[in-house]
Amino acid sequence: MEIRLLGAVEVVDDDGTPWAVRAPRLRATLATLALSRGRVTTSTELIDQLWGATPPVTAAVTLRNYVRRLRKALPAPLIETKSGGYWLTGHQYAIDVEGFQELVRRSRAVRRHDPAEAARLLDQSLTLWRGTPLTGVGDCPMLDMERARLEDTRLTVAEEWYELRLRLGEHHEIVDDLMAAARTNYVRERLVGQLMVALHRCGRVAEALTAYRVTRDRMVEELGIEPGPELRDLEQAILRSDTELIEPVPVSPPLLAERH
């Protein structure tokens, strides 16, 4: 069994068959408890997270009804009442957010001595994402904030993955993905810089410089700021054809051999 939050909130069997948790507030309750697995979430906390600063007068009764309906809908014991609140039990359930975090942790632990394995683990972590996280929970202020945090984490991990791929000399394989990612996240200067490096290493120098100029123009026009010094320095390095800054860092033969 798996609770999935990295996309539409759902519970699925091992074969991918979904269980009926369709109401937005039920999904929101389940997601809130899943994000807090390992600790008791008090009724007050749950009410604040589900309704924000203006809960209905019936919030406590409604919350108990949500928990009752979840217990009835799911195939195995999942939610326990404890110490004035609820907690998620039943470790037979995997949670995709926890799987994502564990793969990222393992990648970071090996990235210095085995960048190929680190890249593989990050690639595996990113495949867990099925779309915008926490979809289908309705109007829930705290989950809106959590969604933004998860999206930011995903982009940070994607940047780490691109960095490793560049280190491995795989610029041709990632340049198109980088272009699409940078187009919609132009304020993430690390991502734009990675695109510029990949384009330059593919021999597309003019496009690398254009990527910088387009990003700069959008930042100045929409945000009123200039790119930071690292991105400006990268533009100058490309103009100088500075190989020390823009060539891949050699990876030792044993690591390359392990990758294949």
Same domain? 129 vs 51: yes
Last residue of a domain, one of 168, 186, 211: 168
Last residue of a domain, one of 168, 190, 208: 168
Q: Are 8 and 22 in contact (CB under 8 A)?
A: no
Q: What is the pLDDT of residues 104-122, one digit of tens each?
A: 999 999 999 999 999 999 9
Same domain? 143 vs 129: yes
Q: What is the pLDDT of residues 24-74, one digit of tens each?
A: 999 999 999 999 888 888 999 899 888 888 889 999 999 999 999 988 887
Query: What global pTM score does this model have?
Result: 0.87
When divided into structural domains, the chain yields a total of: 2
Buried b (16+ CB within 10 A) or exposed e, 212-239: beebbeebeeeeeeebeeebeebbebbe
CATH number at residue 139: 1.10.10.10
CATH number at residue 210: 1.25.40.10
Last residue of a domain, one of 128, 148, 168: 168
Domain that holds residue 1: 1-168
